[in-house]
Amino acid sequence: MNAITQYIVNSSKLEVTLIKITDATPDTFVMEIESRVTNTGPVSSTISPMTVDLVGPGGAFGKLDLPVIKTNSAGTDVNIPAQLIKITDKAAFKAFVTAILRDESLLLQLKNGKGTVKAMMGMSAQIDYNKDCPLKGMHGPKTTISKTEVAGGGFKNTLKLVNPSPLELDLGTIKQEVRNKDGSVIALQQGKAYLLRGETSFLMEGTVVGKAAGEDAVIVATGVEEDNWHNETITAFQESVVLPKELVNVTVVVERTVTCVGPRWEWYPLAVRDPAFFNALISSTSSHAAYLQQVDLPRNFYIHRGEAIRLVNERIRQGAHDEGTINCVALFSQQESFEGRPETALTHINGLLTIVSAVGGPHSPRLSPQTRRHIYLSDLAACISLDSKPLIEPALDLSDLETIFGRPSAATGSYTKTFGNRLYNFTGSSLSDLAGTVLWGLRNVSERLEGIHEGTEMLDTPRATDIQFTDRVEALERLVHPLWYVEDPQNPQHPIFRTFGWACLIYIYTILRELPKELGINILLANRIKLALEACPELNVLLATFQDLLLWQMFLCGRVADSRDRPFFAQQATKILIVRKTESSDEIVAASKEFLWPERLVEIFEDESEESGLSYSSDEVMKNGYA
């Protein structure tokens, strides 16, 4: 009897239609199975409950409790209710999950079951239960990006996956990298993912960190947000995709920006090695993009910033002062300074200096060149917000400006000397020569930036220790500082120097550093210029004597100022334009650039409105320009 029954059991087929794996922890999961047993012979029988080994391509990885199975000649459904499975061999389980994700087919075996079969008339037999369950794998699974929305400092990808297997996986919050074919990272994204049978769509939110080489890319899973075994197995998820044009285009914007400190492609790898710095950097990037798009800060800004704050607080309690923590606090300080919040900027810059001093100061060999530049940038931004001196001595040698800015052209040399003489004749101040030097730096660094965007200049240099574009901008910002900072409150410099210095900072941050013009630091600087000019008893004399300089300042401020301050800048610009009898919009635009580039010839075209017999007053043009 036992032999006959064993033969029938061995000959039966178990067809699995669903395996659902959910509720992952570091060493367990919940499994639910739907299947059908056929080919059990003409006689109905009952198979007792039993426990079997779950065996995949890498061996046994857990045990499964089978329920009572009642067979009949037509076949019977066997539904195994959800039960907790303890992983007995993680390597074997990883091999099983990898096969599920990657392979076209795989074999799941139920082994070493011991049970009893009862047939009619009370006959029974002992059996060994070993059953092969051939399964289709997910074979990828095949993935496409069905929709991309670029907004709010990042993007949202809708992924569509096709799963031909009977397996369903709850992946939790999956983290992925979008990579070029050469392995370089284009973007980071994450979202909740549950792989159903057939077709599944889910939403991923992400941030661009690199440039797409083309539309062909690979999505690679790097882990999950939750603490479970998916972090060891999910890396098997790697699938080629075609990037939509929206995602390709937004990566080009990121690649072109000059705001990163030091060689840009060294910056993200440095951040990736430290979770606090990484989260702070992604939140900062998200904020930057939101400003550029003029939208509200996205949810991922708060998620990443909150995680960075949590990690930094933990480290501070432990007395940590590693490079990742330093960069993270530097980003916090910049955020407050750029937003024009001096109180919180002071808190963060003091914290930054405390941590930096613990490693031997900013010149410590323990700090990379990128981190050192990051500290300087944070210090300079804080001193603007706080109206103070920089707290850290620079590493740059400001006595050798030709090496930093490049030799001035004949036109630049002549113009800067004339500008310095004009200032000295009006003020008698020794700051006049410095102002001329600043103008040299403005012109030369601006020309380098134009070359970068035209492809004739390189933004990145081979070594981090070389002079970078950001070093040239830093040197210029340091030269500007004595123009606006009042060393002796009893003997302040002439307002023409202070307003020129503040306007240079607006230019540096919006043009040379390519930061969003809506940042609070620009609003704060424009307001300082307004207050200084309002308090100047000889304002009209300044407007008449330095028309080119003041018109440049009024246009810079008009673009970034608070809406309540803009009428003031429009009024002062209008006074100059009326005196110069400048009315057409093309002439006004040319006049606004005259201070920086007087030798550049700008063609003035007749305005279409003039051709039709209409004309605009300078008042109207200014009003429209600031709308």
pLDDT confidence of residue 284: 81
**Would residue 391 count as lying in a domain?**
no
**Would residue 394 count as lying in a domain?**
no
Higher pLDDT, 469 or 249: 469
**Would residue 236 count as lying in a domain?**
yes
Higher pLDDT, 290 or 310: 310
User: Are 514 and 601 members of one domain?
Assistant: yes
d(CA 456, CA 326): 35
Number of domains within the chain: 4
User: Are 246 and 267 members of one domain?
Assistant: no
SS3 category, 213:
coil
User: Are 238 and 269 members of one domain?
Assistant: no
The answer to whether residue 63 scores a pLDDT higher than 90 is yes
Chain segment 178-205, per-residue pLDDT in tens: 998 888 888 889 999 999 999 999 999 8
CB atoms within 10 A of CB 580: 16
pLDDT band for position 258 (cuts 50, 70, 90): low
Q: Pairing between strand 216-224 and 198-208?
A: unpaired
**Would residue 50 count as lying in a domain?**
yes
Per-residue b or e along 388-419, where b marks 16 or more CB atoms closer than 10 Å to that residue's CB: eebebeeebeeeebeebbbebeeebeebbeeb
**Would residue 390 count as lying in a domain?**
no
User: Are 26 and 122 members of one domain?
Assistant: yes
pLDDT confidence of residue 286: 79
pLDDT confidence of residue 396: 84
Chain segment 583-616, per-residue pLDDT in tens: 888 888 888 889 999 987 544 434 433 333 323 3
The CATH number of residue 227's host domain is 2.60.40
User: Are 306 and 413 members of one domain?
Assistant: no
Nearest to 500 by CA among 475, 515, 480: 480
User: Are 302 and 199 members of one domain?
Assistant: no
The answer to whether residue 253 scores a pLDDT higher than 80 is no
Query: What is this structure's pTM?
Result: 0.62
User: Are 369 and 463 members of one domain?
Assistant: no
User: Are 272 and 343 members of one domain?
Assistant: yes
**Would residue 392 count as lying in a domain?**
no
SS3 category, 346:
helix
User: Are 327 and 415 members of one domain?
Assistant: no
User: Are 357 and 440 members of one domain?
Assistant: no
Q: How far is CA 122 from CA 44, 119, 126, 208, 402, in A?
A: 12, 6, 13, 69, 103
Domain that holds residue 167: 142-254
The pLDDT > 90 percentage for the chain reads 60
User: Are 381 and 236 members of one domain?
Assistant: no
pLDDT band for position 150 (cuts 50, 70, 90): confident
User: Are 266 and 245 members of one domain?
Assistant: no
94, 115, 136 — which closes off a domain? 136
Instruction: At 58, list the tokens.
Output: 């890498």
Whether omega before 390 lies within 30 degrees of 0, making that bond cis, reads no
227, 254, 281 — which closes off a domain? 254
**Would residue 182 count as lying in a domain?**
yes
Q: What's the mean pLDDT in 14-31? A: 96
d(CA 420, CA 340): 31
**Would residue 395 count as lying in a domain?**
no
pLDDT confidence of residue 121: 64
69, 103, 136 — which closes off a domain? 136
